[in-house]
């Protein structure tokens, strides 16, 4: 996938911290609105579990974790470096995994294993 000129994790790796800081400024409120809309469409329950596709540094994941600290979240991204920024937040209900959405069948993720799949910035 080509985005901002990056078609591999190495492009994201070199700009991860700068990108994360800017993204947090811009998308915090939008992430909350996306979560609210998702909850209205398919209400969250105590058995809900979430997949955040293209999580990057975890703006959406962080919002979701703050609101629902007991629900498991798997945050995925092409770049390990951006996921490391999320890992540094030490969110107890969040796990991270490097996944290429162009080859999701080779990622080890089981179809139907998540009740909700969210994404804030994947195109």
Q: Within 10 A of 110 (CB to CB), how many other CB atoms are there?
A: 7
**Beta strands at 116-118 and 94-98: parallel, antiparallel or unpaired:** unpaired
pLDDT for residue 15: 67
Is the pLDDT at 9 greater than 60? The verdict is: no
Mean pLDDT along residues 51-78 = 93
What gap in Å lies between CA 115 and CA 73, rounded to an integer?
Answer: 10
Q: Please, which pLDDT band fits residue 13 given cuts at 50, 70 and 90? A: low
Mean pLDDT along residues 77-93 = 92
pLDDT tens figures, 22-35: 666 666 677 888 89
Domains and CATH numbers, the chain: 9-103+114-118 (3.40.50.150)
Q: Please, which pLDDT band fits residue 5 given cuts at 50, 70 and 90? A: very low
Query: What average pLDDT does the structure give for the chain?
Result: 84
């Amino acid at each position: 996938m080509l985005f901002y000129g990056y078609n591999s994790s190495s492009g994201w790796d070199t700009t991860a911290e700068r990108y994360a800081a800017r993204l947090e400024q811009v998308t915090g409120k939008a992430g909350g609105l996306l979560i609210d809309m998702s909850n209205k469409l398919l209400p969250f329950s105590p058995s809900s579990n979430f997949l955040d596709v293209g999580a990057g540094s975890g703006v959406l994941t962080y919002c979701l974790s703050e609101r629902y600290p007991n629900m498991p979240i798997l945050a995925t991204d092409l770049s390990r470096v951006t996921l490391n920024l999320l890992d540094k937040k030490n969110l107890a209900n969040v796990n991270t995994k490097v996944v290429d959405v162009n080859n999701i069948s080779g990622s080890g993720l089981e179809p139907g294993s998540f009740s909700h799949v969210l994404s804030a910035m994947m195109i």
